[in-house]
Amino acid sequence: MAARPPVPTLTKLTCVLLVYVKLTTQVTPPPCNPGDNLYAPVFINSEVQQTIPETLPIDASVATLSASDKDTLCNFGSLTYSITGDGSAASYFGIEKDTGIVSLKTSLTNTSIVDFTVRIEVQDGSSPPWSSTALLYLKITRNFERPVWSSARYATNIPETAPVLENILSVTATDRDAQPPNNEVTYELVGNAVQLYYFEIVSSTGDIRPRRPLTSDTNRRSQFDFVVIARDQGSPPLTAAINASVTISVFRNNNAPRFIQDPYSITVAQGLGSGTVISVRAVDDDPSTEFNQISYSIEGPANALTLFTIDGSGNIQPTNPAAINSASETNYKIYVRAEDNGIPKLYDIVLVELTINRNLNPPIFNPVTYEETILETRPFGDVALRVTASDADNLVCGCC
């Protein structure tokens, strides 16, 4: 610490006081002349629009309206902000006097006012002050209405082959609030883990669609039940008064085609044409056309595939009648398949036995009358008479 200075004499003290007075006179600012306040404050934006939710918390910032003043002398450039109107705006909003930050000071849930005009004044530091005014237009978003379902129940039937991620059903709820997000509805599908494994909802549209192939469901469930929650995007959000129910029925390829007769057999005469030899028919008990449409084909064996064809109605026809007619074969086995249009296809196979009757003609005596006179002494065993007959069949059938 510095040592204390010696006490000055009276003459020296007088001198020191004179010096002090002189210095003080030099740092005192000149008096402020109102004529030096050359500029008025100017807002950067004199009109500002802002949308805020009615649930905005107290003290939350709403907007900032800044102004500037080019004056540098005295306090002619220092600014003070205040709210001067309009209506009840000053009751709900306050402004930070040094910064122009507008914030909420009373909850907006206490009023139904939708639009506020906040009139803001800024003054400089002169007397009287120069000022400017700006307007802050505030729109209050309010969530008054709940979503309302167009229908409380939804149901649809789909095949198990319904394509993945393609819409099968749409649920719809509307919200009468005037402004988004209070009238924007989203949807949530609620179900158990298995149900939600196979189906999903597009939250923004309400479209419901399979997430996975329903054919992969080894339990082959035929019905899925859900509820859907409709929720708006207000703050806080509101949900529909009830949840909608959704039932999705899945019809499956549960039945294979079956032939109405088993086996089929027919005997036809040699000399086939190209027309139908025999018709077969199968039925499919599935109720839906997705799974009960039947197509026929020849399964085998090899000669049947070569010699016969079958049309969509189950009519079997020879592809080369001449080859069949000239052959010696009398019995043909034809295995016919009937399959449906499921995925995978289900089928039945039946045996068709086709017998060709190649012995079309009886022997005919020619001539049919014989007359012969023989001696009574004709030896035993001697030819007495020869009769002749012919057969128009032209094939020698070893097995006949």
Question: 155 phi and psi, to 5 degrees?
Answer: -150, 150
Distance, in Å, from the CA atom of 393 to the CA atom of 358, rounded to the nearest integer, reads 7
CB of 76 to Ca ion, least distance (A): 4
CB of 34 to Ca ion, least distance (A): 10
- Show the site string, 14-43: x = touches Ca ion by CB under 5 A, - = not: -----------------------x-x----
Distance, in Å, from the CA atom of 293 to the CA atom of 257, rounded to the nearest integer, reads 9
Stretch that binds Ca ion, among 48-56, 66-74, 328-336, 378-386 (CB under 5 A): 66-74
Stretch that binds Ca ion, among 204-212, 259-267, 270-278, 280-288 (CB under 5 A): 280-288
Site membership for Ca ion, residue 255 (CB under 5 A) = yes
- Dihedral sign computed on CA atoms, order 324, 330, 333, 334: positive
Question: Cβ(22)–Cβ(109) under 8 Å?
Answer: no
Q: Could you tell me whether strands 185-190 and 148-149 are parallel, antiparallel, or unpaired per DSSP bridges? A: unpaired
Q: Which is nearer to Ca ion, 141 or 143 (CB)?
A: 143
CB of 107 to Ca ion, least distance (A): 19
Q: Which of residues 105-144 bind Ca ion (CB under 5 A)?
A: 124, 143
CB of 205 to Ca ion, least distance (A): 18
**Using CA atoms in the order 315, 319, 323, 324, what is the torsion angle rounded to 10 degrees?**
-10
CB burial of residue 374 (10 Å; 0-12, 13-18, 19+): exposed
Q: Which of residues 122, 253, 272, 294 is near Ca ion by CB under 5 A?
A: 253
Question: Cβ(83)–Cβ(89) under 8 Å?
Answer: yes
Q: Residue 363: helix, strand or coil by DSSP? A: coil
CB of 35 to Ca ion, least distance (A): 12
Residue 341 makes CB contacts below 8 A (sequence gap 6+) with 290, 291, 292, 293, 295
Amino acid letter for position 18 = L
Stretch that binds Ca ion, among 102-110, 190-198, 253-261, 350-358 (CB under 5 A): 253-261
Question: Cβ(169)–Cβ(179) under 8 Å?
Answer: no
Q: Which of residues 281-300 bind Ca ion (CB under 5 A)?
A: 284, 286, 291
CB of 375 to Ca ion, least distance (A): 37
Site membership for Ca ion, residue 149 (CB under 5 A) = no
Question: Cβ(346)–Cβ(256) under 8 Å?
Answer: yes
CB burial of residue 378 (10 Å; 0-12, 13-18, 19+): exposed
Q: Which of residues 54, 160, 232, 339 is near Ca ion by CB under 5 A?
A: 232
Q: Which is nearer to Ca ion, 143 or 186 (CB)?
A: 143
The DSSP code for 225 is E
- Show the site string, 304-333: x = touches Ca ion by CB under 5 A, - = not: ------------------------------
CB of 77 to Ca ion, least distance (A): 5
* Count of residues touching Ca ion (by CB under 5 A): 23
CB of 264 to Ca ion, least distance (A): 21
Contact residues: Ca ion, CB under 5 A: 37, 39, 69, 71, 76, 124, 143, 145, 175, 177, 182, 232, 234, 253, 255, 284, 286, 291, 340, 359, 361, 391, 393
